[in-house]
Amino acid sequence: MNIQLLQVFLTTAREGSISKAALTLNYAQSNVTNKIQQLENDLQTKLFYRHSRGITLTPPGQILVSYSEKILHTIEEARAAMGESSAPSGPLRIGSMETTAAVWLPQLLAHYNNLYPNVDLNLVTGPTEQQIQAVLHYELNGAFISGPIEHPDLVQEKVLDEEMVLVTSASHPVISSIQDVQTQTMLVFRKGCSYRAKLNHILQEEGLLPIKLMEFGILEAIIGCVSAGLGISLLPRSIIASHEKEGRIRSHTISDKYSFVSTMFIRRKDTLITPALSAFLTHMRDHFQIKRPDQS
DNA sequence: GACAGTGCGTACACACGCAA
DNA sequence: TTGCGTGTGTACGCACTGTC
CA of A29 to C1' of C11 (A): 16
**CA–C1' A7–C8 (A):** 21
State the average pLDDT over residues A147-169: 86
Q: What is the mean pLDDT of chain A?
A: 79
- Report which secondary-structure segment, H or E, holds A189: strand A186-189
Report the CATH superfamily, name and number, of domain A82-158+260-286. Answer: Periplasmic binding protein-like II (3.40.190.10)
The verdict on pTM exceeding 0.75 is no
Q: Report angle CA A153, A154, A160 to the nearest 5 degrees.
A: 170
Give pLDDT tens digits for A123-140: 988 888 888 988 888 888
Q: Which nucleotide is nearest to A37 (CA to C1')?
A: C8
Smallest CA–C1' separation from A20, nucleotide: C6
The domain locations on chain A are 1-79, 82-158+260-286, 161-258
**Separation CA A259–CA A218 (nearest Å):** 22
C1' of B4 to CA of A4 (Å): 27
Q: What is the predicted pLDDT for the residue at A26?
A: 63
- pLDDT band with cut points at 50, 70 and 90 for residue A213: confident
Q: Model confidence over A63-84: pLDDT tens digits?
A: 887 787 777 777 666 666 555 5
Say whether pLDDT at A265 is over 90: yes
- Supply the CATH classification number for the domain A161-258: 3.40.190.10
pLDDT in tens, A183-212: 778 888 776 677 777 777 777 777 776 667
A280 pLDDT higher than 80: yes
Average pLDDT rounded to a whole number, residues A164-183: 80
Helix or strand holding residue A15 (H, E): helix A3-15
Confidence at A94, pLDDT banded by 50, 70, 90: very high
Q: How far is CA A201 from CA A186, A232, A242, in A?
A: 14, 17, 27
Query: Hey, what amino acid is at A160?
Result: L
pLDDT at A237: 86
Shared fold status for A82-158+260-286 and A161-258: yes
Q: Is the pLDDT of residue A292 over 60?
A: no
> Which residue's CA lies closest to nucleotide C9 at its C1' atom?
A30
Q: Which of A48-57, A62-71, A186-195, A240-249 has the highest mean pLDDT?
A: A240-249
Nucleotides on chain C within 7 angstroms of protein Cβ: 5-11
Q: Which of A1-5, A98-102, A251-255 has the lowest mean pLDDT?
A: A1-5
What pLDDT, on a 0 to 100 scale, did the predictor assign at position A79? Answer: 60
According to the CATH classification, is domain A1-79 in 1.10.10.10? Answer: yes
Choose the weakest-confidence range: A77-81, A85-89, A180-184, A266-270: A77-81
Q: Which nucleotides of B are covered by protein (CB under 7 A)?
A: 8-13, 16-18
A296 — pLDDT class (breaks 50, 70, 90): very low
Residues 6+ apart with CB under 8 A from A60: A43, A45, A46, A47
CB A171 within 8 A of CB A229: yes
